[in-house]
Structure 1
Amino acid sequence: MNSPQRIIAHFDLDSFFVSVEIINNPSLKGLPVIVGGQERGVVSTCNYEARKFGVHSAMPSSKARQLCPQGIFLKGNYAEYSKYSKWVTDIIASEAPLFEKASVDEFYIDLTGMDKFFKPLQWTINLRERITKETGLPISFGLASNKMMAKMATNQAKPNGYLQIPFGKEKDFLSPLPASEIPGVGAQSKLILQAMGIHTINDIYKAGEAALEERLGKMGTDLYYKSQGLHTGEVSPYHEAKSISSENTFQENISDIKFLNAELVRLTEKICYELRKDAKVAGCVAIKLRFADFETITRQTTIPYTCADDEVIPMVKALFDKTYKKGTPIRLLGVKLSELTEDAVQTSLFSDVEKKNDLYKAIDNVKDRFGKAFVKRASSN
């Protein structure tokens, strides 16, 4: 028995961070807006008005300012981005039979077999309209026979549009596109392809599997199949983000504020370390206090997606200050991070974090070698 024809939709929120900024400040509409391009940082997101000047994501802010001196440069409001991302996720979760959240602004939906009950294209159009109506965010989608084709269709549909690639027409769609449009073709592989006289996706196909494999190894074989629109990646079912937490029940009730603050730092360092080991970042932090009379209070807040101790600790301390009844003995203290995601790339572009990431990597390596307690923040001693 033949398997049913796969039907995959790919949704991508257009210039997501900028779109949220414009919703919160409509006077920005129509202006070149750049998020993340601070003094020594790089551009995270820019709108199409800024792109006309040659600005693009991951560009050094100094270069972006040269190209677009009239641009509106914003630091970014990560708590708002997290809120809107969750809003869109909740809408999709309420409608889609099976979906994957690929990043804060990108989703895949598997509609395979659902064409027996409704027209997939119209269903996807309706979902897009609902997202835009409820959130105000522009969003594009592609509909195709697999994840790769759906994503490439979305790229062609942007900004704020949609495109369906009919089954069997994958090669026709791909042929005239630049070779660099295939996901995974970076600057280095693009140069190799150009040296082979390959400029379009059709050129990749005509070059043949053997020639591509000889120059690019396994990637060459992969490109050959992708040039025909073939891709087997599955839509991974989305589950509500799990949390990571740590708590300590004291042998005796504690009211020493210096000790409690040091314990908050220790607990936060511990779970941030575990988060980095899982290659994830968190978008929400919570604290838990249990007093001597067993009254238990939890308080949480959204945070910019991060796994860095120095970014989470101030949030934890602020929550504690708002929650703690001064002088009241505490029986249990806990810290929890939630809204976990592996999508750390976008969020790490907002600031000059490359050195910070290297620092934490070095610290974690020491912890791995000598134990987690070997390296401590000064305030946790």
Structure 2
Amino acid sequence: MKATNARIIFHLDMNSFYASVETAYNPAYRGKPLAVAGNPEERRGIIITSNYEARAKGVKTTMPIWEARKLCPELIVVGPNFERYRMASSEIFKIMYQVTPYVEPVSIDEGYMDVTDATPPSKTVELARNLQAKIKKELDLPCSIGIAPNKFLAKMASDMKKPMGITILRKRDIQNVLWPLPVGEMYGVGKKTAEKLNGIEIYTIKDLAEADVYQLKQLLGINGERLKNRANGIDLRPVDPDAVNDFKSIGSSETLPMDTTDEQEIRALFSSLAANVETRLKRKNAAGRTVQITVRFHDRKTITRSKKLPNFIEKKEDILKVALELFNQHWNNEPIRLLGVTIQDIEEKQNIVHQLDLFTYKKDAEKEKLYTTIEHLTEKFGKNPFVEIKEEIKDQPRTSFQKDFLDDFRK
């Protein structure tokens, strides 16, 4: 990519992605209020996402199904099909990749593109329209595209017009377009951060842009200075196609159909979550050293607890053992709504130095002859004859925040 100060960045954001994919697969849903929920047969199941017809009736993400049906009696509720969403995501990124190799997926339904060298500046909007139309025509999926000189402004722009919007946000537009907005609407400012900023009389993005950087750093650390820069339209981060490979954690979480204190049910869910993490570690040929659990109680209070281990682990049994140990140490016997298991401090196995100890030395020595034999056979036949050819692992990512599959489109 040529060195240039005038970058052109797209942020492509799919519109109500899960619901749109379901409609693409079943056109009978078109024009009707539709929601995807974790447990559609349960009144207390939670809405994961909904289409714009449902949102117009007041249906919102995380709303219980019974409440959504009260607002919208004709609401169609379906269960999630993450394999389907993953396939659709891969096809979307393939189309983006045809435009430029500088594509950075950030979740299952959004990504950045640096199109600086993909088209003359005068053709930028035409390129965005063609990309949007191609995704709609080939996949029947709507998206919005933000166009800006950096990633932050492109992200803010893509949120301004939905569905099927194309928005340009230049630095000269910041004072008129961004600054009047409440600081809580700024990308990177969550609810708690907004409350902290409000506490020092920062209510708008303009207030943040003009705030004292020392005071912000005292309040928010280095993130305070970063947010002030963004509020002023400064963001030097490149679009990094390899960023998706810099995964440091792999996790799995699930909301229970009903709040529970049943230890057998809790143990079974932990076992399922640990198995899912193991499967996804295998896909990345990786292992990790820290196990973290997430526990959300009936009153939505959420805690995380973690333990760093002396050695890397990857097996379900090892993950489960530490997760249950953490849980037993910190559970107060209150009813539980959600559980999560995450492996952190991840490294690919090829980067992990294998440390022999007294317990593994003998086993490793016994395997050495087998390894030598396998190497000879691999050289002769061109592949390891002892590796069983399996179907692609059909693990299903549970949320859009699990990023370890996002480079599949390049395969």
Q: Under TM normalisation by the shorter chain, which class is it?
A: 0.5 to 0.7
2: CA distance, partners of 1:225 / 1:207: 11
2: CA distance, partners of 1:61 / 1:178: 30
2: CA distance, partners of 1:219 / 1:171: 22
- Residue 219 of structure 2 is aligned to residue 165 of structure 1: no
Contact 1:37 1:64 in 2 (8 A): no
SS in 2 for 1:173: helix
Q: CA deviation at 1:151?
A: 0.9
Contact 1:101 1:238 in 2 (8 A): no
Kindly provide the CA deviation profile for residues 53-101 of structure 1, in whole angstroms up to 9, marking residues without a partner as x: 4433344545544544442211022232222222222222222242112
The answer for the alignment partner of 1:20 in structure 2 is 21
The answer for the alignment partner of 1:31 in structure 2 is 32
2: CA distance, partners of 1:332 / 1:65: 51
Identity level (%): 32
Contact 2:11 2:154 in 1 (8 A): yes
2: CA distance, partners of 1:193 / 1:238: 33
Q: Aligned match of 1:197 in 201, 211, 216? A: 201
Q: CA deviation at 1:121?
A: 2.0
1: CA distance, partners of 2:7 / 2:156: 16
Kindly provide the CA deviation profile for residues 182-215 of structure 1, in whole angstroms up to 9, marking residues without a partner as x: 2221111111222223222112123332332232
The answer for the alignment partner of 1:174 in structure 2 is 178
Distance 1:270 1:106, change over 3 A: closer
Q: Could you say what the CA RMSD is over the residues aligned between the two structures, in angstroms?
A: 3.7
Distance 1:114 1:188, change over 3 A: same
- Residue 11 of structure 2 is aligned to residue 10 of structure 1: yes
Q: Which amino acid aligns with 1:31?
A: K
2: CA distance, partners of 1:97 / 1:268: 31
Q: Which amino acid aligns with 1:17?
A: Y
Q: CA deviation at 1:340?
A: 9.4
Contact 1:8 1:108 in 2 (8 A): yes
Q: CA deviation at 1:8?
A: 0.3
Q: Which amino acid aligns with 2:136?
A: T
1: CA distance, partners of 2:146 / 2:108: 18
Kindly provide the CA deviation profile for residues 35-70 of structure 1, in whole angstroms up to 9, marking residues without a partner as x: 124235432221122223443334454554454444
SS in 2 for 1:157: coil
The answer for the alignment partner of 2:388 in structure 1 is 333
Q: Which amino acid aligns with 2:191?
A: A
2: CA distance, partners of 1:239 / 1:220: 23
- Which consecutive residues of structure 1, in runs of 5 or more, have no partner in the other structure? 242-266, 280-306, 309-329, 349-381
Q: Aligned match of 1:217 in 214, 221, 224? A: 221
2: CA distance, partners of 1:47 / 1:154: 17
1: CA distance, partners of 2:153 / 2:133: 22
- 1:305-316 equivalences under 5 Å are none
Contact 2:38 2:80 in 1 (8 A): no
Q: CA deviation at 1:4?
A: 2.7
Q: How many residues align?
A: 276
Q: Which amino acid aligns with 1:19?
A: S
1: CA distance, partners of 2:65 / 2:89: 25
Q: CA deviation at 1:216?
A: 2.4
